[in-house]
Copies of this chain bind each other. A is one copy, B any other.
Amino acid sequence: MQKFQADTPGVTKSEIDTPALLIDIEAMEDNLERMADFFRGSEVRLRPHFKTHKTPIIAHKQIAAGAKGITCQKLGEAEVLVGAGIADILIASQIVGSQKISRLAGLAHHAHLVVAVDQADNVRELSQAVSAAGSSLRVVVEVDVGFERCGVLPGEAAVSLAELVSQSPGLEFAGLMGYEGHAVFVTDRQSREQAVGEALARLVRTAELVRQAGLAVDIVSAGATGTYDMVGRFPGVNEIQAGSYVLMDTRYREVGVGFRCALTVLATVISLPAPGRAVIDAGKKTVSADFGLPTVISPDGLRLVRLSEEHGILEVDRQAEALRVGDRVELIPSHVCTTVNQNDRFYALRRGHLEAVWPIAARGKSQ
């Protein structure tokens, strides 16, 4: 019997109980540095997306590496960030309904919040709420640059909404955001660059129209890990919302994004029931499959072929014939964000030794 605690710093990777999300700290630091290099000397600033890791200490590291602030999607995520001492936050989604708007107006007393809008009634409700609360909010107008999710159409619709924001008590018009989600995973880099260019032209042209209407446009925000370098060089955009770069996954690796895969899932072989088949203790409830099955990186000779809720079923080739029940298997997720959101903590390792356990504090903060 082992006598150590599995979460005591210093234990080796193989001593951590499973399933577990591991972060290779050096790979993560390389990613932070690589991204910082890109923005060094540029007027464009990174505002990384919290949805990927939902973990305040990683957000603090991103800011220490030069990020302007943090982007998040949910009000509950913003509350976790503010509680962790991070004040400069873009909520890149519409906050709707009187309960959430009240929470937002209260939170605005404790942070520098920017929130996205795409609808006039929502602007009026935000204005009323901050007026009642005695707080204030900065607001960006979300423009649909071709992803066909949220956002007003580029052009006059966006200008009108920007004007309404600027005239609303308690609100400050801060600029525009767009998300070129339809371009992010275009495999061919040249095609991706073209799709990004078309999307951003809509955003930047709209920013010009807003300026022509007499409003200052402080923020023009877009971008993701698959497009940050294209967006970051596009004249007129000045904030990037990339998230996945810090931990990465196979989906982004497949489209040629050069960051290191710092996140892995550690699992244990719990059954070798038949020749050529192994079963591990990590299933869909640990590692997501919405972007495809995760990829085994060690040991050699294993291939994941199926995920049940709590089991992963692997094909074992001759190379892995020595595999035993109890052996560890390490995988890279296909989608970091949906994997992280199912787990309570990261096990952060440096050179194979546990350095820290980080609670995923905003996990499940969907409200």
Give the interface of A toward B (CB within 8 A). Answer: 1-2, 6, 17-20, 51, 73-74, 93-94, 96-102, 118-119, 121-122, 128-129, 132, 144, 148-153, 181, 268-274, 277, 279, 281-282, 284-286, 289-290, 308-311, 313, 325-326, 337-338, 341-344, 363-364, 366-367
Distance between Cα atoms of A290 and B334 in the complex (Å)? 14
Distance between Cα atoms of A117 and B250 in the complex (Å)? 34
Residues of B contacting A19 with CB < 8 Å?
Answer: 366-367
Copies of this protein in the assembly total 2
Distance between Cα atoms of A150 and B153 in the complex (Å)? 53
B17–A310 contact, CB under 8 A?
no
Known interface pairs A18-B367, A342-B342. Does A313 touch B121 (Cβ–Cβ under 8 Å)?
Answer: no
List 14 extra interface pairs beyond A17-B99, A96-B269, A121-B326, CB under 8 A.
Answer: A1-B102, A6-B99, A74-B310, A94-B325, A97-B268, A144-B274, A148-B274, A149-B308, A150-B279, A153-B273, A284-B338, A290-B290, A310-B366, A343-B364
Residues of B contacting A1 with CB < 8 Å?
Answer: 98, 101-102, 128-129, 132
Residue of B nearest to A51 (CB): B309
A94–B271 contact, CB under 8 A?
yes
Max chain B CB contacts within 10 Å: which of A100, A144, A367?
A367
Max chain B CB contacts within 10 Å: which of A51, A102, A338, A343?
A338
A325–B284 contact, CB under 8 A?
no
Residues of B contacting A367 with CB < 8 Å?
Answer: 17-20
B284–A96 contact, CB under 8 A?
no
A311–B279 contact, CB under 8 A?
no
Residues of B contacting A325 with CB < 8 Å?
Answer: 94, 96, 119, 121-122
Distance between Cα atoms of A102 and B337 in the complex (Å)? 33
A271–B337 contact, CB under 8 A?
no
Known interface pairs A17-B97, A270-B150, A272-B119. Does A342 touch B364 (Cβ–Cβ under 8 Å)?
Answer: yes
Known interface pairs A20-B367, A51-B310, A367-B18. Does A271 touch B99 (Cβ–Cβ under 8 Å)?
Answer: no
Partner of A149, one of B128, B150, B279: B279
26 A-B contacts (beta carbon < 8 Å): A1-B102, A1-B129, A18-B97, A19-B367, A20-B367, A51-B309, A73-B309, A94-B325, A96-B325, A96-B326, A118-B271, A119-B271, A144-B274, A148-B277, A149-B308, A150-B271, A150-B273, A153-B274, A181-B308, A282-B366, A285-B337, A285-B338, A285-B341, A285-B364, A290-B290, A342-B366
Distance between Cα atoms of A282 and B20 in the complex (Å)? 26
B96–A270 contact, CB under 8 A?
yes
Distance between Cα atoms of A98 and B11 in the complex (Å)? 15
Residue of B nearest to A99 (CB): B17
B99–A311 contact, CB under 8 A?
no
Least CB distance from A120 to B in Å reads: 10
B150–A366 contact, CB under 8 A?
no
Known interface pairs A2-B98, A121-B325, A366-B282. Does A270 touch B93 (Cβ–Cβ under 8 Å)?
Answer: yes
Distance between Cα atoms of A15 and B308 in the complex (Å)? 36
Distance between Cα atoms of A97 and B329 in the complex (Å)? 13
B337–A309 contact, CB under 8 A?
yes
Max chain B CB contacts within 10 Å: which of A122, A285, A308?
A285
